[in-house]
Amino acid sequence: MPRMGANERRSGRRRQAAALGFFAFVVEAVTVWLRAGRPGGNVVVRCRDGHLYSTIWIPGVSVKSARLGPWRLQRCPVGGHWSIVTPVKESDLTPWQRRRARARTDIRVP
């Protein structure tokens, strides 16, 4: 069996890393779709204290938060605290909750 050179091993690792990154992106997009009813964009989220607000959620990208799989750690503009947030289906909210969540937004830095 021929031995692999260093370049071949590195390119194999790069392919594996790219495949893993793509897999993580797809898993996050599907999770957000199942939880929020859309693959991303401007979604309503709930923090651990129950506050609802809207934020920009782009799978695989985080500028103003720390990604933790299907959750994110970001600052809640309602309570003024750092919390883990998760997407919420707007259809599961009352009309009053939807209006309040849309009226409260975090900083708009995508």
pLDDT in tens, 18-48: 777 777 777 777 777 777 777 778 899 999 9
| pLDDT value of residue 22 | 76
Residue 109 lies in a domain: no
| pLDDT value of residue 110 | 54
Residue numbers of the domain that contains 20: 6-103
Total domains present in the chain: 1
The segments of the chain whose pLDDT lies below 50 read none
Looking at the whole model, is its pTM more than 0.75? no
Residue 110 lies in a domain: no
Question: In degrees, to the nearest 5, what angle opens at C-alpha 83 toward C-alphas 32 and 90?
Answer: 40
Residue 1 lies in a domain: no
